[in-house]
Structure 1
Amino acid sequence: MTATPETAPVPAESDGGSYDVVIVGAGFSGIGAAYRIAERNPGTRYVILERRDRIGGTWDLFRYPGVRSDSSIFSLSWPWEPWVRKEGVADGDHIREYMEDTARKHGILSNIHFGTHVQSADWDSATDAWTVHAEENGERKTYRGRFVFFGSGYYNYDEGYTPDFPGLETFAGTVVHPQFWPEDLDYTGKNVIVIGSGATAISLIPALAQKAAKVTMLQRSPTFLLAGSRVNPLIEAVRKVVPRKISHAFARYFAVAFESVVWFLARTVPGVARKIIRAQNVSRLPAGYPVDVHFKPRYNVWDQRLCLVADGDLFEVISDGRAEVVTDHIDRFDDTGVTLKSGKHLAADIIVTATGLQLQALGGVRITLDGNEIKPQERFSYKAHMLEDVPNLIWCIGYTNASWTLRADMTARAAAKLIEYMNTHGYTHAFPHLGGEPIAEKPAWDIQAGYVLRNLHALPKSGLKRPWVVRQNYLADAFDHHFIDKIDEDMTFGRVASPAQVAG
């Protein structure tokens, strides 16, 4: 007889092997973790489980025209592998090439299992080990590891965010979200509406304007935009006369210092920051352009992320008429375009919903401790990389106001240091423990971006004081990491088996 879904046997899981560390994700976080852990702990057996077919993470997923870094590549690249191209604002394909070349150069590529979608991770206190269940190219597979490191980012790869626009289903043209850009989408000579004004829209619009008949950026409210050069003359001059490793360090520190000064200025004297940005916007746009209508946000600088306009390209396409900005609210869609609350109608062949991401912790992987499922969102984050009472698990989460890799590298080094400490002392498990006293909390990300405000509690919780606070201050975190943090602060160490309370 034919097996029904209820009676069909569940395919057996094959053994993927045992490792010291199982790393989830082959982006900046995962590859950086592999390098740092192996650097400090030679001989460590690790495997990287990557759901996609290539290295890159975000930089492989996003393929829309114009995708590029929205912060300096010198702070986004790894400190241990110099960025050799001259651009400080890098295109997405060049970033992915850099990542792949680096992984190959350092012997990391051979440890990556592609096409491997991690479903769950189960901790067993009887053996002090994680069992990671995955689907690998259609086959169920099990990996075991003493540690699991999540370099899986902070958002849902399967679903972008698109608001429930009235009548969108009646639009006769093409609707596309930048997270899932079709390779064969031809926008030559088309009228394109890009809904949104964040970093994606800012980089996408100038690229579309090279071929489209007209591109319209439709926004509900303005975003702060700051133009910057793709190539920094000072950094390039230093790189021509100074050895590569030294010049890369200089470029990195210069980028960090510049970005930190901009952020500090914005937070301490917001009125001054507003005036500086407005003056630059006015200088980049035609005389009489309504800057205060389209580029004067209601919030202060860095309440939301400041968007970088590389070489002023967005201002350029607005100035020459290839793109326009419309600030209004959507009333409804019809078969030819969108009608706005003001009554204006915008015709379109293609509508791009650059409307944001969906936050997600640990890549949506189900976590259990001794058979009991836990919710990462209900746990406090320790030093922004471990979870309260969860043993031997590291999660990499970057900054909202600086390059992701700045904290990713600190997290990787902290993981490497913890592994070394435990190996030296013969410990088989370690977890941060709050104790019995309740602590005040805040969202892990306190930036006022839409994708955060839509789901404030998607990420683990943050306290208000270290080591339980998730800060958005790289310089303070770097100081603590190098000079203050101790390996055993608020940590519980032990050997098989772990205490019952770890099961939560």
Structure 2
Amino acid sequence: MATAARAVAPQSAAAEHFDVLIVGAGISGVGAAYHLTRQCPDLSFAVLEAKDTFGGTWVTHRYPGVRSDSDLYTFGYRFKPWVGNPIASAGEILDYMGEVIAENDLGRHIRYGHRIERAAWSSAAARWTLTVTRNDTGETFEITAGFLWMCQGYYRHEQGYTPDWPGLGDYRGRVVHPQSWPADLDYKGKRVVVIGSGATAATLVPAIAGDCAHVTLLQRSPTYFLPAKNANDLADQLRALEVDESWIHEITRRKILADQEEFCRRAVEEPEAVTAELLGAARLFLDEETVRRHFTPRYRPWQQRVAFIPDGDLFQGIAAGKASVVTDEIEGFTATGIRLKSGAVLEADIVITATGFNLSVLGDIAFTVDGRPVTFGDTVTYRGMMATGLPNMVWIMGYFRASWTLRVDLVADFVCRLLTHMRAKGAAKVEVRLRPEDADMPLLPFIDGENFNPGYLTRGLHLMPKRGDKPEWQHNQDYWRERKELPAIDLDDGAFVYS
């Protein structure tokens, strides 16, 4: 695993100032740092990371088999070729990120173990003041910045979401959330129940099935899975022809994105046909009754993420009898297992709650603007990047139906263009405001539930900014539109107010 740039940077001095502060050294923050060095090389910046290393979600999650559920040709950066299998382990992704940091000398900009407690904007000073605590010393101090780039992700790393089931306190076995996987967990020869039906559960079950006495996937309702081999024929063919890796990366990336665009279109316009194809793929591994009872969702494809399972490993484990699946609702816990609403009881030595995330808005940092506390849910989003009432700040919220990192690159281009535009105008401050023509625009939840409705988002929707019914006042979740729209944004449009 690449380790260059993992050492904690020198202690920050009080009132140290930067042109830009990037919050988070995960896939978004590392990408942001790269683009700043290339597109705005004369700007000073630092990356503040609460953890003691880079990687974000790939450091938080340490459960067996943890891997990407997006292909690395698109989850990887556009500027750094990916040369491995499309679906990669956490370790492989960390190696890749470590190479980006080392090759571009980004480590000197990253301050590990720096947790931001508060962020205060002053219009008089035209800057953000961040109150920061160092993990190793407990020292608290201030850092100021002209611009804040929020790359902290969207969920609370410290604690995953576990429902408060009746009787949970009576259960004598061990309850584990994948987000807080204990190093001493011994599941060999044990009866294990994994609660959940998303990508985490689909990864965990086949990874531990060979060591458990038995593992049961318990789901409230089915989800869509896409089984396919963990290889890309086009990339392999190009490598056999000794094509340069940068060309392979770009060609393969474009082909995957074109195929995904078509799949998303068909999921909306031809949902019955797409459903039939996905269920047909499941039938290659499983009998008809299992597919009907446990792998036929109630919603159309892509209203929630379609989980990729490389080589159909989840289905193979079920077909081989190493794992089983139960579709039912939990009535409560007993001392030795889980009682279901059907009346059945699942005995379990270990229960793994792959039940999702707790949404974290802006890293749970307390924001104020000119002394007034900011309630993010009362703001209106500008293309899912900026928010009304929050000057000199951009945040990254990626895509649900395409790789998160695709938006990292697009937003980075926008931020660098905006910073350059501000300097050309002599502006120290920029914020987005509703224009006169937006006065009667209806304000709606951040995303339409008919478009996308995962549990973590619907539970925390009240925390997210509002959206309008115009393209510029919403995050449309459509990479294929945004790759043309974001570069074409008119930075002198009335939505941008400079001073």
Q: TM-score, normalised by structure 1?
A: 0.93
How far apart, in 1, do the equivalents of 2:236 and 2:471 lie? 38
1:136-192 residue CA offsets vs partner (Å, 9 max, x unmatched): 121102111110100011111222111111111111111000110112211111111
Q: Tell me the equivalent position of 1:58.
A: 57
Q: Tell me the equivalent position of 1:499.
A: none
Q: Which amino acid aligns with 1:124?
A: S
Q: Tell me the equivalent position of 1:279.
A: 280
Shift of 1:221: 0.8
Q: Tell me the equivalent position of 2:91.
A: 93
Q: Tell me the equivalent position of 1:347.
A: 347
Q: Tell me the equivalent position of 2:132.
A: 134
How far apart, in 2, do the equivalents of 1:126 and 1:290 lie? 64
Q: Map of 1:381-396 to 2, 5 A cutoff?
A: 381-396=381-396
Whether the 8 Å CA contact 1:441–1:462 is kept in 2: the answer is yes
Q: Which amino acid aligns with 1:74?
A: Y
Q: Tell me the equivalent position of 1:112.
A: 110
Q: Tell me the equivalent position of 1:465.
A: 470
How far apart, in 1, do the equivalents of 2:419 and 2:222 lie? 46
Q: Which amino acid aligns with 2:75?
A: L
User: What is the identity percentage for the equivalent residue pairs of Structure 1 and Structure 2?
Assistant: 38
Whether the 8 Å CA contact 1:428–1:494 is kept in 2: the answer is yes
Find out whether 1:183 has 2:188 as its counterpart: no
Q: 1:443 aligns with which of 433, 442, 445?
A: 445
Shift of 1:239: 3.4
Whether the 8 Å CA contact 1:400–1:445 is kept in 2: the answer is no
Q: Map of 1:31-50 to 2, 5 A cutoff?
A: 31-50=30-49
Q: Give SS of 1:462's match.
A: coil
Q: 1:309 to 1:419 in 2, by over 3 A?
A: same
How far apart, in 2, do the equivalents of 1:135 and 1:195 lie? 36
Q: Give SS of 1:448's match.
A: coil
How far apart, in 2, do the equivalents of 1:242 and 1:269 lie? 37
How far apart, in 2, do the equivalents of 1:30 and 1:125 lie? 26
How far apart, in 2, do the equivalents of 1:229 and 1:438 lie? 51
Structure 1: which 5+ runs fail to align? Answer: 1-12, 496-504
Q: 1:229 to 1:441 in 2, by over 3 A?
A: farther
1:205-259 residue CA offsets vs partner (Å, 9 max, x unmatched): 1101131121100011110111122111222222342111111111211221222
How far apart, in 1, do the equivalents of 2:99 and 2:175 lie? 35
Q: Map of 1:362-377 to 2, 5 A cutoff?
A: 362-377=362-377
Q: Give SS of 2:252's match.
A: helix
Q: Which amino acid aligns with 1:461?
A: K
Q: Tell me the equivalent position of 2:3.
A: none
Find out whether 1:488 has 2:492 as its counterpart: yes
Q: Tell me the equivalent position of 1:357.
A: 357
Q: Which amino acid aligns with 1:443?
A: P
Whether the 8 Å CA contact 1:68–1:92 is kept in 2: the answer is yes
Whether the 8 Å CA contact 2:48–2:110 is kept in 1: the answer is yes
Shift of 1:288: 4.6
Q: Tell me the equivalent position of 1:7.
A: none
1:30-54 residue CA offsets vs partner (Å, 9 max, x unmatched): 1111111221111211100000011
How far apart, in 1, do the equivalents of 2:42 and 2:218 lie? 54
How far apart, in 2, do the equivalents of 1:494 and 1:388 lie? 13
More deviation, 418-427/265-274: 418-427
Q: Which amino acid aligns with 2:244?
A: P
How far apart, in 2, do the equivalents of 1:408 and 1:256 lie? 16
More deviation, 230-239/293-302: 230-239
Find out whether 1:455 has 2:460 as its counterpart: yes
Q: Give SS of 2:447's match.
A: coil
How far apart, in 2, do the equivalents of 1:128 and 1:382 lie? 21
Shift of 1:425: 2.2
Q: Map of 1:244-255 to 2, 5 A cutoff?
A: 244-255=245-256
Whether the 8 Å CA contact 1:189–1:211 is kept in 2: the answer is yes
How far apart, in 2, do the equivalents of 1:239 and 1:362 lie? 42
The root-mean-square deviation of aligned C-alpha atoms, in Å, is: 1.4
Q: 1:343 to 1:146 in 2, by over 3 A?
A: same
How far apart, in 2, do the equivalents of 1:130 and 1:400 lie? 30
How far apart, in 1, do the equivalents of 2:443 and 2:254 lie? 32
Shift of 1:16: 5.5
Q: Give SS of 1:261's match.
A: helix
Shift of 1:127: 1.5
How far apart, in 2, do the equivalents of 1:479 and 1:361 lie? 27
Whether the 8 Å CA contact 1:192–1:216 is kept in 2: the answer is yes
Shift of 1:14: 5.5
Q: Tell me the equivalent position of 2:8.
A: none
Q: Tell me the equivalent position of 1:399.
A: 399
More deviation, 246-255/213-222: 246-255
How far apart, in 2, do the equivalents of 1:266 and 1:212 lie? 37
How far apart, in 2, do the equivalents of 1:251 and 1:60 lie? 28
Q: Tell me the equivalent position of 1:28.
A: 27
How far apart, in 1, do the equivalents of 2:103 and 2:15 lie? 25
More deviation, 432-441/180-189: 432-441
Q: Which amino acid aligns with 1:462?
A: R
More deviation, 234-243/415-424: 234-243
How far apart, in 1, do the equivalents of 2:134 and 2:260 lie? 40
Q: Which amino acid aligns with 2:464?
A: L
Whether the 8 Å CA contact 2:435–2:495 is kept in 1: the answer is no
Q: Which amino acid aligns with 1:455?
A: G
How far apart, in 2, do the equivalents of 1:405 and 1:477 lie? 13
Q: Give SS of 1:175's match.
A: strand
Q: Map of 1:279-428 to 2, 5 A cutoff?
A: 279-285=280-286, 287-428=287-428
Q: Tell me the equivalent position of 2:121.
A: 123
